[in-house]
Structure formats: C-alpha cells, structure tokens
Amino acid sequence: MGGESGARAAWLVGAGIFLSRTAGLAREMVFSFYFGNSSAADAWGAALRTPNFIQNLLGEGTLSASFIPVYARFLEHGRDEEAGHFAGAALGVITVIAFGIAVVGVLIAPGLVHVLYPLWVPEKQALTVQLVRILFPMTAVLVVSAWALGILNSHRRFFVSYVAPVLWNLSMITALVGFGSVWGWNAAGRDADLMVVLAIAALVGGFSQLAVMLPWVIPFLQQFRLSVSTKVSGMQEAIRNFTPVVMSRGVVNMAGLLDFVLAGLLVEGAVSMLRYGQTLYLLPIALFGMSIAASELPELSRAGVGRAEDVRQRVQLALGRITFLLVPSTVAYLTFGDVIVAGLLQRGDFRGADTVAVYAVLAAYALGVTASAGSRVLSSAFYALRDTRTPARVAYLRVAVSAVVGVMLMIPLDRVGFGGLRLGAVGLALGASVGAWLENSLLHHHLRAAVGHHRPTSAVWFRLAGAALIAAVVGIAAKALLGSVVPLRIGLIARLIGPESPLLWPLVMAGTALAFGVTYLVVASALGVGVPLSRLRRK
C-alpha cells in the first residue's frame, strides 16, 4: 500500500473516529446539561477513570503494539491458518485477563474508592462505588472490542471498527434524555439515580459496540480456533511485545488515574473540569493522530525491520499530515477555546464560570496536542521495528516528569479561580503537556538513530506555523465581532438572536471556527503547504 492508499486509510479511520467522537461530544453536551461541574459529575469522572485502566492496559494501543505486527506478518506471508490460530489464542488470553481483573475490581471497589478519594463525603464515595462496580465489566467488554478492531485493521477494514463506539455513546444519550427529561428525574433532583442508569447504559453500549463489529470480523476467521494457549505460533513474540507495552501503558494509565486522584483532593468540581478538558483535548488527537497512526501501523509492520527506508518515508509523511492538522488545532484551542467550550457545553447546569474554568484546563492541555499526536506515530514506528522497549522507557520518564510538574503547579493554582471553582486542575494539565513534549523529543531522537531523519522540513513547520498565526488573528477578530466568554463580550450574534438564546454560543463557535479554518487553509495553500498533504513529504 503506497502513500496515497495510506492517506485513504487514514481518512477512513478519521471518518469513523469523527462520527464516534461527534457522538461522544453529543454525549458530553447532554451530560453537562444535567450535571455541570457537580458532585455527581465528579463521581462519574472518578468512576469512569478507575476501571478504565483495564481498557488502557489491554485495549487498542497494547493490542496494536503486540498483536497487529504478528498477525499482519502472518497475513503478508500467506500463513492464514497460523493467523487464525494466533487470533483465537490472543482472544482467549486477553478475555480471561480482562474479565478476571474486572471481577477483582468489582469485589474491591469500596476499599479502592476510599483509598483513592479519601476526602470525599460518604454519599459521594458510595455513588462512586456503585458506578465503579458497573463500569469494571464494561471496560472488559471494550477490551474484547479492541481485539476485533485489531483484526479489522490488519485486513484494512478501518471504518466500522472506529465508528462502532457511536452505539456506546448513543446508549448513554438515550438513557440520560429518557430518564432525565422524559421521566423527569432531573427535575426531581434524582441525580444519583440518573447517574446509575447512565452507568448501566454504558455497559449495554459496550456490548452493542462489540456486537456491531462481529459480523465484519467473522468472515476473516475461517481458520479461527479459540484457546488460551501461549504455545500457539506467534504468541511468544506477542507476549514479548506485550509485556513492555503493558508496563509502559500501565505507568501512563496510572499517571492519568493519579491526575484524577490529585484532583479529588481539590475543591468540588476539579475532577469533572479535568475530564471535560481531557475530552476536548483528545478530540483532535483521536481524529488526526490516532487515525493516521492506526492506519499506518499495519503498513509499517509489513515493511518491518528489513525495510528501514520504507519506515522512514511513511513516518515522515504521517508526521507531515499530523503537523498540518494539529498545529491549527493547538492555536484554535488557545485563542478561542472559550467559545468552543461554551458552544459545546454551556447550557443547563453548566454555566459561564464553568466555561472559563474548563477553558483554562483545555488551554493547558492544548500546549501538548501536537506532541501527543506525533508520539502515536513514532511509537507505531518502533512497534513495526519490533522495538517495544524504547517507547516503554520513554513513557516512564514522561510520566515521572508530568507528575512532578503537575503537583508543583497544582497547589499554587488551586488558590486562583472563578466563583466556587479553582484552577488546580490547570496545573495537572500543564504537567501533562510538559511530559508530552519530553516524550516526543526522546522518541524522535531514538528513531533518528534507527532510520535516519524523519521529520518534516523546517520550512514546512515555519509555513504551517505562520498560516496558523495568521488564522489566529482572523479568529480573534471574529470572536470579538461575534461574542466571547473570555473576556465576556456580547457580540453581533447576541444582538441578533438575544443573549439568552440556546443557539448563541453554538453559532459564535461555528462562525469563529469557520473564519479561522478557512483562513488557515487558504494561507497554507498560498505558502505551498496546503492540500494535497503529499506535498509535506521531504524532498
């Protein structure tokens, strides 16, 4: 598969992720309407993150690093029977591990929540325990979905695997609207009951996500044989790859959980602020970084160790695409992230002060967007070169630095805030961005030693940065004309439709983003670094 077909695969992945992330944003919009930055929202953020380590440890990223390179190589060499047996053994082992951890998590949930969030009042802890016990099995189901995703990606069937999470999101949206509004639980103040229903809907949605993928997976399993044997051909290599990746992702995941635990020590609302900020921060990384990295991994794996020049060229082109897409994302979040947050979330129980606080968290996270997305591709290159240890070692250092910087900044920033909210969560987000750039720099350094120069040229970087800065000026002007939250300014749209209209901030967001996006594309094209993205390949 050449560069153009690689780009096509990335767009297929991107289209699937776009639909699932759009559904995810719709879920967050509905969630913020009912819960805002409340105590119940904190409980949900903590409960969702706590069992999520199963999915992060054993899910898509880990299986991509350990499973896809082995499985794709079997397919490349026509060893279909071995591929089927390997896929069955991988499914059996990963299912036993995932559901085993889930059972333990359900049993120890009360003690776990008490240890992680000791300052929360008993009612808040009790709600969190209920949610954790429901969400642990959900994450185990999502791990099995990640196995199905690996099968489909290896066979270059990208769209369905990434669009499947739409069902997970729709299940939760339906539950919130049905019980919250139609049955009137929100008006009756039954926030805790509504949150439990949301968790049950998430579990049902996890099964739905897996079910929609199976009809697409089954045709590729003609030689499939389910087992839990580690002696099946390819399993020992997969386990060798698996162990360092699990360790590195375990450290990264524990760092993410630590951020939420530390936020739990801050004032009420800090956990939910961090979760809202992460959701928006991860959107461009998922849309662009993950889509490019996921579509490139099977092809990088087929190139493998013996074709370092092919790996170098694919990485360079992929990084060029990421730079083109993520630099403006960073600038947009920094310059008009307030109207993005307001346009998506500010309604119901999510008010102006919540928007300002979440915008501050988002701006801190935005500083690391390009680095985080680029690191996805760089890690995929190491996995294709059968080197899982280098990304693991780098991840350990990233986590340590992120934690130290985050804690140092969290305490003084928690004295600053808006209304009842404080900005300690901003310090944790800044620590994450510092760690992201450290990881990115070290991965570049080690990959250059393996395959040579692989970055886009400096000229490309400067031209894209210039296009983004010019677009930022236009975006700021558009925000000043249409309306803004920081600083609070009633603009043209408020005068046209009224300051209390529910369409106010969505329209301001759309107008500002359109002015910024069109300007960026036009200027980038004029500077010779616009679409087609193949121009970003280094000559």
CA 25/CA 19 separation, integer angstroms: 10
- Residue 229 sits at φ, ψ, to 5 deg, of -80, 135
Residue 3's pLDDT is: 40
Of the two residues 273 and 158, the one the predictor is more confident about is 273
pLDDT tens by residue, 362-408: 999 999 999 988 888 888 788 777 777 888 889 889 888 998 999 99
Any idea which of 105-114, 170-179, 384-393 has the lowest mean pLDDT?
A: 384-393
Query: Token digits for 194?
Result: 């509504």
Any idea which of 97-106, 205-214, 261-270 has the lowest mean pLDDT?
A: 261-270
CA 136/CA 103 separation, integer angstroms: 8
3-state helix, strand, coil in the chain (%, to 5): 80, 0, 20
Any idea which of 2-6, 51-55, 132-136, 150-154 has the lowest mean pLDDT?
A: 2-6
Residue 294's pLDDT is: 58
Task: With a cut of 70, say whether residue 64 has pLDDT above it.
Answer: no
SS3 state at 240 = helix
Residue 13's pLDDT is: 66
Task: With a cut of 90, say whether residue 55 has pLDDT above it.
Answer: no
Query: Token digits for 349?
Result: 């129980």
Q: How many percent of the chain have pLDDT more than 90?
A: 40
Task: With a cut of 90, say whether residue 239 has pLDDT above it.
Answer: no
Of the two residues 246 and 520, the one the predictor is more confident about is 520
Task: Identify the band that residue 100 occupies on the pLDDT scale cut at 50, 70 and 90.
Answer: very high
Neighbours of 447 (CB within 10 A): 25
Of the two residues 68 and 230, the one the predictor is more confident about is 230
pLDDT tens by residue, 9-34: 556 666 777 888 889 889 999 999 99
Task: With a cut of 80, say whether residue 208 has pLDDT above it.
Answer: yes
DSSP strand pairing (417-418 vs 489-490): unpaired
**Residues composing the chain:** 539
Instruction: Give the mean pLDDT of 194-217.
Output: 94
- Residue 483 sits at φ, ψ, to 5 deg, of 135, 150
Instruction: Give the mean pLDDT of 266-293.
Output: 82
DSSP 8-state symbol, 310? H
Residue 536's pLDDT is: 38
Q: Which residues pair with 483 in a beta bridge?
A: 490
Question: With helix as H, strand as E and coil as C, how does 78-97 read?
Answer: CCHHHHHHHHHHHHHHHHHH
DSSP strand pairing (417-418 vs 421-422): antiparallel
Residue 16's pLDDT is: 75
Task: Identify the band that residue 253 occupies on the pLDDT scale cut at 50, 70 and 90.
Answer: low
Any idea which of 214-218, 231-235, 261-265, 334-338 has the lowest mean pLDDT?
A: 231-235
Task: With a cut of 60, say whether residue 160 has pLDDT above it.
Answer: yes
CA 526/CA 342 separation, integer angstroms: 32
Amino acid at 279: T
Task: With a cut of 70, say whether residue 516 has pLDDT above it.
Answer: yes
| Integer CA distances (angstroms), 286 to 20, 68, 257, 345, 374, in order | 10, 19, 20, 20, 11
pLDDT tens by residue, 431-471: 999 999 999 999 999 988 877 888 888 888 899 999 999 99
Q: Does the model's pTM come out above 0.85?
A: no
| Four-point Cα dihedral 176, 178, 181, 183, nearest 10 | -130
Instruction: Give the mean pLDDT of 504-516.
Output: 95
Residue 427's pLDDT is: 93
Amino acid at 37: N
Residue 374's pLDDT is: 87
DSSP strand pairing (483-484 vs 489-490): antiparallel
Residue 538's pLDDT is: 39
Of the two residues 120 and 380, the one the predictor is more confident about is 120
CA 63/CA 518 separation, integer angstroms: 38
Query: Token digits for 115?
Result: 């240890």
CA 18/CA 16 separation, integer angstroms: 5
CA 89/CA 227 separation, integer angstroms: 5
SS3 state at 489 = strand
Residue 249's pLDDT is: 61
Task: With a cut of 80, say whether residue 66 has pLDDT above it.
Answer: no
Q: Kindly give, in sequence order, each residue whose CB lies less than 8 Å from that of residue 318, ignoring residues fewer than 6 positions away.
A: 6, 10, 292, 293, 296, 377
Instruction: Give the mean pLDDT of 515-538.
Output: 74
Question: With helix as H, strand as E and coil as C, how does 158-209 read?
Answer: CHHHHHCHHHHHHHHHHHHHHHHHHCCCCCCCCHHHHHHHHHHHHHHHHHHH
| Integer CA distances (angstroms), 15 to 2, 19, 287, 505, in order | 20, 6, 8, 26
Summary mean pLDDT of the chain: 84
CB-side exposure of 198: number of CA atoms within 13 Å?
30
Any idea which of 157-161, 233-237, 315-319, 512-516 has the lowest mean pLDDT?
A: 157-161
